[in-house]
Each structure stands twice: as C-alpha cells, then as structure tokens.
Amino acid sequence: MKKILCAILALAMMLSIAACGSSSAPASSAAPAASKAPAASAPAPEPAADAPAGKASFELSMANTQPEADVETQAMIKCKEILEEKTNGDIACTVYPNSELGDTDDLVEQAAQGMSVMVPTDPARLAAYIPEFGILQMPYLFPDLSYLDKVMETETYKAWDQEFLNHNVKVLAANWYGGARHFVLNKEINTPEDLAGVKVRTMKNAIATDSINAMGAVATPMSQSEVYSAVEQKALDGCENQSTSTYAQRYYEVLKVINKTNHFTLIGVPVVGTPFYDSLSPEYQKLMVDTFTGVGHDYQEIGLQEEARVEAEMEKEGVTLHEVDQAAFRERTEPLYAKFGYEELRAHLMDEMK
C-alpha cells in the first residue's frame, strides 16, 4: 500500500514541478517543533517571478521513519519552516514522519527516479553508491561532534558530493547527529569477553554486523519492531542502539542496562534526487544546502540535550547507565578499517580536518 502511495505521490510531484505553480502548498502533517533551534544562516532568495501569490512553484515531501517527537523529525520541520519563510512559500514542504511514505531505502530510490522527496539516510546505506562514503559510519571514527561539520569542508567530501550527482542523488548535508549507540542489555559489560554468545540486534549492513561481531557479541540483524518481542521470548539478548530510540521504542521496559560504549556515532544524511534539485534555481539550490547544513549544526546540541533527557527518564524506570572503558572495544574494531579498505582514507580525512 505504501509503495502505491509513493508511486501516486511521485507522479503528482513531477507534474507539480513541470507546471511550476499549478498546486497549492499543503500543510505539514507533523506537529510544530517542540524545541526551537536558531535558524540556519541562509540568504533569502527572491521567489520565482511567475509564481502567483499564495501558490508554490515547488512542492517537496520530507519523509523519515522516526516518530514526530524525534529530534530528526523536529529538524525536518525546522527546515520546512526556513524554506517556506525564505521563499515566501514558493517552496512548500510537507513532513511525513513515522514511515508514512515507506522505508528509507525505497524513498532514496524514489527520489533518484524523480519523486520530489527529501529523506534523511545514513553513510552505510549511501555506501551502496560510493563505497568510500561508508567510512563515516565506522566505529570510533571521530573524537567529537565538531568533526561532523569539519568533514563537510574537506576536499574528499566535496568530491563525494559531486560523485553522488552521477547517481541522481544530491546530498544536502552530512552533519545531522543521530545519537551515540550503546549495548542495551540486561547485564553490565566491561570487556569484549563479556559479550561472548550475547545475541545483539544491529543494523542490516556489513559495517554494523562486522563491528558488533568484532566487539565480541553475536550480531543479529532484524527490524527494530521485532526487538521487544524477541527479548521477551528470549530469542534475543538485547540490542545496540541510541538512547533516544531505546526510549521511543520502550525497550527500557525489557532491557535494564545501557552499557555506554559509544561505538557508533549515527550521522543523518538528508538527500534529494537530482531531478528535483536540478529543477531549482541556483539561488534555491544554495538555500537548500545552507538550510539543511545549518539546521544540522544547530540540532547537534539539541540532540545531546535530548539524549540526556531520555536517559534521565529511563533511570526513573529502573534502567542503569553503566559507563564502560571503551579502549578494549576500540582496539577490537581497529582491524575493520583495513578490512573495508579505509586505513589510508581515514588518515587522509583526519589530516584534512586538522
């Protein structure tokens, strides 16, 4: 049913772009942002001269798989507000959270084929287009969040940005902080040996599964929606997850220890397809990039604040936040850089960011 909806929406959006102003801008389907971040510092270009008052020349869907209250969705809503304000409604956006338009992979493919949709994806998924881009999802890569902004200034990133265009994908930013991931179990761990035989749900990509196995656990890829029941049925021992998702999915009801290994820093990468991006004027293209990059920077701090808030809430529900010496886990994952061919690339990237 979602694929049918996506197909219908894709056709409608392409007709809208061709008509340039033939449709009224729809209202956002998501709630207003609960947290207000500073507006991204992007100039306000002039709206299209042929756009009638109250009409939008461009309509863009913004879709993700997270609930409305999630920081990522709130960042999308902030981008919607900025784009509509700075174009006087000439770019109209509708936010679709909670998988309303489908899953991430399908939406990226739809965007590349011409659907007017923005979707936040991640480096591991985008590695299917450019394998080297997957390095941004590797364990223990960046010392702190400032590197999310720094990496976008490197010549390496700029080359990736251009290469993605050959795959009909326009990357708008790569600095959206999605959270630090930890081992969420019913026991405390202190060394990789403590994870021997422990079945841990992880993401469905090679970087994730190889990393979790290297850290000592048994990587068990599955849908997030299956985790709660799998733990209840003792088919799964836990998951590796960011605290905001652990809270939203209510895993804390069945998993009582968050072991803070911080092994992955999730990076959100908002993208659109080049068919939509190329239909915009150069001024609107710059506004899109500036907006998503600026909001990404602003929401890094908001993401950290939200992590702290939900962790405090989970502690009230009996969850233990267990600090872990990360050195041994970091050492276990180090050989993966050679396995994925990222050793020289990592050294080069870090040198560019000095």
For residue 140, give its domain range. 58-176+268-308
More confident residue, 8 or 227: 227
pLDDT of residue 3 exceeding 70: no
pLDDT of residue 9 exceeding 50: no
Model pTM score: 0.82
Q: What is the pLDDT of residues 88-127, one digit of tens each?
A: 999 999 999 999 999 999 999 999 999 999 999 999 999 9
Q: How confident is the model at residue 54 (pLDDT cuts 50, 70, 90)?
A: low
Q: What is the pLDDT of residues 155-169, one digit of tens each?
A: 999 999 999 999 999
Calculate the average pLDDT of the chain.
89
* Residue 162 domain flag: yes
Three-state SS string across the chain, please? CHHHHHHHHHHHHHHHHHHCCCECCCCCCCCCCCCCCCCCCCCCCCCCCCCCCCCECEEEEEECCCCCCCHHHHHHHHHHHHHHHHCCCCEEEEEECCCCCCCHHHHHHHHHHCCCEEEEECHHHHCCCCHHHHHHHCCCCCCCCHHHHHHCCCHHHHHHHHHHHCCCEEECCCCEEEEEEEEEECCCCCCHHHHCCCEEEECCCHHHHHHHHHCCCEEEECCHHHHHHHHHCCCCCEEEEEHHHHHHCCHHHCCCEEEEEEEEEEEEEEEEEHHHHHCCCHHHHHHHHHHHHHHHHHHHHHHHHHHHHHHHHHHHCCCEEEECCCHHHHHHHCHHHHHCCCHHHHHHHHHHCC
Strands 320-323 and 257-273 come out as parallel
* Residue 292 domain flag: yes
Give the distance, in angstroms, between the CA of residue 313 and the centroid of all CA atoms in the same chain.
23
Across 195-207, average pLDDT: 96
Provide the pLDDT for residue 102: 92
pLDDT of residue 12 exceeding 80: no
* Residue 232 domain flag: no
Q: What is the pLDDT of residues 203-241, one digit of tens each?
A: 999 999 999 999 999 999 998 889 999 999 999 999 999
* Residue 215 domain flag: no
Spatial separation of the C-alpha atoms in residues 344 and 337, rounded to whole Å: 9
* Residue 77 domain flag: yes
Strands 91-96 and 58-63 come out as parallel
Lowest mean pLDDT among 29-38, 144-153, 254-263, 310-319: 29-38
CA neighbor of 303 nearest in space, from 268, 256, 270, 255? 268
Provide the pLDDT for residue 55: 84
Provide the pLDDT for residue 45: 54
Provide the pLDDT for residue 56: 92
* Residue 136 domain flag: yes
The answer to whether 6 touches 107, Cβ cutoff 8 Å, is: yes
Provide the pLDDT for residue 6: 46
187: left (phi over 0), alpha (psi -120 to 50) or beta: beta
Spatial separation of the C-alpha atoms in residues 229 and 238, rounded to whole Å: 11
pLDDT of residue 273 exceeding 90: yes
What distances in angstroms separate CA 242 from CA 5, 62, 208, 286, one per listed residue?
Answer: 30, 23, 14, 32
Which domain CATH number covers 78? 3.40.190.170
CA neighbor of 182 nearest in space, from 239, 133, 223? 239
pLDDT of residue 28 exceeding 60: no
* Residue 36 domain flag: no
Domain count, the chain: 1
